[in-house]
Structure 1
Amino acid sequence: MIDSVEKSPLGFRAEPTTPHCRGSPVSRIETLPRTPSKPKTKQTKLALGDETADFTVVCEGARYMAHKAILSASSPYFARMFRFSGSEINNKEVDVQDVDALSMEKILNYMYTGMYALPYGIPIPETDYCKHSSLALLKGPASSPKIFKRKCPCAGKCLAPAHLLMHVRIYTVADYLDMFDLKSYAQQGVEDVLHVYWQDEGLGLADALEEAFTATPDDDKGMRDTFVGALKEHPGLTVDVGDVRAWLDANPDVDESVNWG
């Protein structure tokens, strides 16, 4: 008797010849094991205020939904807070005192993105030669900067005179939070604003000087040296009668650093 199932030359099994039932085709016999599939993982990036936030930072009534993992990784201040159980941990929120809400918001943005942007900035042209170093270039013929052919170090950045005090305040809070990288970032912001707007009446230089020299430790020379350097570079700011001159008269140690240091 002939077997109803015959093998084909190619290694396939023939289908049954019984007319009453139709069998499913049998696939080729596999000799190699299948490659195991990799588990599918969903990559998620934490963002300030997203649905996974597990801690709230309160500042001047504003509530910022954040993540303990980001806060502790960015700031030793928060890392210490989470290490020791206290009312903040139990309530899952902390009320930050003596800090303005705008500064706190920008600091949190920096924790998540490595940068922050201040409002109302004006883009510095990338195609023009720098004219910010002296009044002669600022107020002279438009062709004067072409003589030196120096590209502005702030080209492409969005700056405004009002940013000066904002950067200083962020710097002082960053010092409190032990965020040294943020301090460097804010200090660079001060250098940029001073480079472009050192002569601008809306700069609020005296107020920024007061903040920088009273809200930071005496041994913290970073921001202080930035201001002293700018005043040395532009002596007209210290000679002319005005708020800056009055502030220097009230702070003779700084005045000495500017004129003789």
Structure 2
Amino acid sequence: MKVKEVAELIGISVRTLHHYDEIGLLSPKRKAESGYREYTDEDLETLQQILFFRELGFPLKKIKDVLNSPSFDRQEALLLQKKMLLEKRSRLDQMILLIERTIQHAEGEIQMTNKEKFEGFDFSQNPYEKEARERWGNKAVDRSNAKLAGMSGEEQEAMTEKMNAIYRKLAALRKEAPSSDEAHSAIKEWYDFLNDNFGSYSFEAFKGLGQMYVSDERFTKNIDQFGEGLAKFMCEAMAAFADKKEIERRSDLGD
């Protein structure tokens, strides 16, 4: 099947398939006589795997690593994906039930205690924190230190000043809504700065890092030197930025 046929079959954009090809995630072979890329049944099975992982919130880089792993087993992956989707459905069912009971409470049909109003929520785990901690753990620190060691004093000073300038810009906006256009633009500068200097970070990891700014007092103390409440503002702005990018991703996939 040609790329346009695959896009129409699945309901995603040709641009998305081209992007998967460009980053080496899914690259069908070119047919010698026509020069067009053609998707085999095996390619479509791989694409199905990619879309399952995307539905579960996996970043493209992580999906590529998983699919390229010598130990990757398609059947095992399907069973794991089923388990994760069932867990996701269970959480959604709980939230739907909570909403239905809340509607009944609002209409006077039942009475809910304050505790019952929040029984469907679970904040015991941050699904993005593990990836963020992995990316910002000892290996990430070692990489950043190695990069800094290879810079001249002037280069280090310039990078530090650029980082501080972004902090100051965000501090000046911390009284604004974290989802405002100004906040979005400024927090994108922070996202780009991290990616340019300390590796490649998914939107999920970026969101998780923002959570660490408020959950880890060391982050909070350092960031709030530029203005009280900045860590909280950055956490919320990073979450808004990541959520917006996720909506854009789903739109590209035709969701």
Q: TM-score range by the shorter chain?
A: under 0.3
TM superposition score normalised by structure 1: 0.22
User: Higher helix share goes to which structure?
Assistant: 2
Bigger relative contact order (CA 8 A; separation at least 6): 2
TM superposition score normalised by structure 2: 0.23
Q: Which has the larger radius of gyration?
A: 1
